[in-house]
Structure 1
Amino acid sequence: MNKNNSSVVDAIQVGLGDRSYPIHISTHNLNSLGFLCLEHKLGRKAAIVTNPTIGAHYFQPAEASLVSAGFSVCKIEIPDGEQYKNSETLNLIYDKLIENGLDRGSFIVALGGGVIGDMAGYAAATYLRGIPFVQVPTTLLAQVDSSVGGKTGINHHKGKNLIGAFYQPKFVLMDLAVLDSLSDREYISGFAEMLKYGVVLDGKFFDFMHANAEKLLHRDKDCLQFAVKTSCMLKASIVERDEREGGLRAVLNYGHTIGHAVETLTDYRQFLHGEAVSIGMAQAARISEAMGVSSTSSTHHIMSLLAKLHLPTGLPAFKTDDYLAAILHDKKIKDDGLSFVFNKDIGNFIIDKVKDVGRLLKVCEIGD
């Protein structure tokens, strides 16, 4: 057992009282999964939720780690893709949980990217009114964003993540070695969420990404370790102060208002989530400048780094009214307007209520 424990030291802690949990970030640490589940005193039966793409690479070692630690394991495989993050696929998970006899003493392992993490987490939050779950994110985007903070849920045809729950994992296990199996496109899309933290929370981290863009693109493990750890620390610092998005946590939606509209209008098929967020950040930077919150030079630096990281910036050419309709279905809309996150130059932010969303869209360059 000691060999499995050797790679899980120096964890980041998400401090949420009795819902606190560690984030373990290392390379080649997937074999510690079983040890950690024992350490957290989880039940003896586990369901690993994954998809065919991820399962082909990592189901077997994850299963082996659990079995060697004395757990029984069932596999729940769901289709791969954002378009399957819906109630129909969620019911497939429930069906398999019931068929395999998982009870309140069982737990779920989310082995995959953001879609798997969100859906498996929501299934855990709602099955038998809540069973424990563990996040094992296998994409860069999921490691730096969706696996941390307890947001779980599914999409609705009228908008992204409209149905869900806040439900924290028991722990998060991040193996940087699994990122080597990602395509360049999938890997690069994760930089968008990283960059978000730099733009609105930490100018020094933004500068680090600018200075080390080539190393990050070439998957340098030392750079990745620092970037993933910093991203998780920044997100944890926000989640600890505002777990359920009562105010401050909305800053993590920077770029997401327009990004989600892009995903909705393209039926979640044209862009990866990180690519849509990148497009949304480019537009948010332009809007922030136009509204006098940020400088032209800051917008230039943001656009420059997006380009350096090979991320898209141009809105697809739907009508402005289509974007407006998609945004008005966003869960961030309330009676007093849309909570929009503006970058205040680089490293800071302002969240303000916007009643005239159409005014924001006039600044955007649709189809550029």
Structure 2
Amino acid sequence: MSYTEATLQLLSPEGRLVESDASAEYLPLIQQLTDQQLREFHRVMVVTRAFDVEATNLQRQGQMGLWVPSMGQEAAQVGSGFAARPQDHVFPAYREHAIAHIRGVDYVDIVRMLRGLTHGGWDPREKNNFHIYTLVIGSQSLHATGYAMGIQLDGDTNTGDPERDRAVIVYFGDGATSQGDVSEALVFAASYQTPEVFFLQNNQWAISVPVSTQSRTPLYLRPSGFGIPGIQIDGNDVLISYAATRKAMDEARSGQGPRFIEALTYRIGAHTSSDDPTKYRTQEELEHWMALDPITRFASYLRGRGEGEEFFRDVDAEAADTASDVRRRTLELGIPPVENMFDNVYSEPHPLMQQQKQWLADYEASFDAEGAAE
């Protein structure tokens, strides 16, 4: 599946600005972006891809049990990630590495989580309302909808003050749309008219099941059955990803109800490091989507605007430095204290946990005592 007549686009695959009646309402949002903001779009896409490649290598070398690559989906993530306002809440799935970076999450914190060193990875309150990764497929859509209902009940939306009004954006993949959780979230979102944007990254594959098998109709049409308007965008075009999300979030934030965006993109790598995509997809399909690479496309656009080569060299150097830094710090990660498995079960001290913690300490100490006696 590639682009359709319904696919909104602002950048052609060659990196030229597309002006059409369908996308005309989004152009003003792009025209408001500064040169520095556009440079930042490119920088985050390139640096995140370098991190992704390095993390894949680290997993193959035994430094993580699992890695979830995001290569190819950078434009969908960076555009939408920068479209959210600081007070908004972001509920990711598990491959939103670029958005995590935008919201202040250290790349190594993602590694620590997938290495099994933490129970969640980070505190959303400390990371600009970026919630923890959710590996239970689709469940984050219910978490996000419940949070959006809470925002509404607290009166923190539709006040007329864009600096105060809050909204929620939730990310999920095409496979998650087959989960009951997503449908249930759409029901509640429509019923309560939550300030929420459902952002579907359609990367064409739910592990080995193609989207054509998952849904006989385009996924952007599905929310209309719940009473939620949906659009389909070119997810490899960072400009339309930004503009469509900015518009949808502003509408949700101003009391117009939930919105749904299907971003057509492609998972260039494997579903996870446990997957072998050569078993179920063709080289021809992969090459077709690689020719639509979001980073190459946006770089062409920036060069057409007169951006000099020094900028691109600096970004590439930063990306290489970031990858090297991630490798160094990953190799320096130690083993978490055994106490963590007890201390993080309950929010407050718990007698049973304290008892078990003491039992384990005494058990380990008994081996030291035996050694000393010998």
Bigger radius of gyration among the two = 2
TM-score interval for Structure 1 and Structure 2 normalised by the shorter chain: under 0.3
**TM-score (norm: length of structure 1):** 0.24
**Greater strand fraction, Structure 1 or Structure 2:** 1
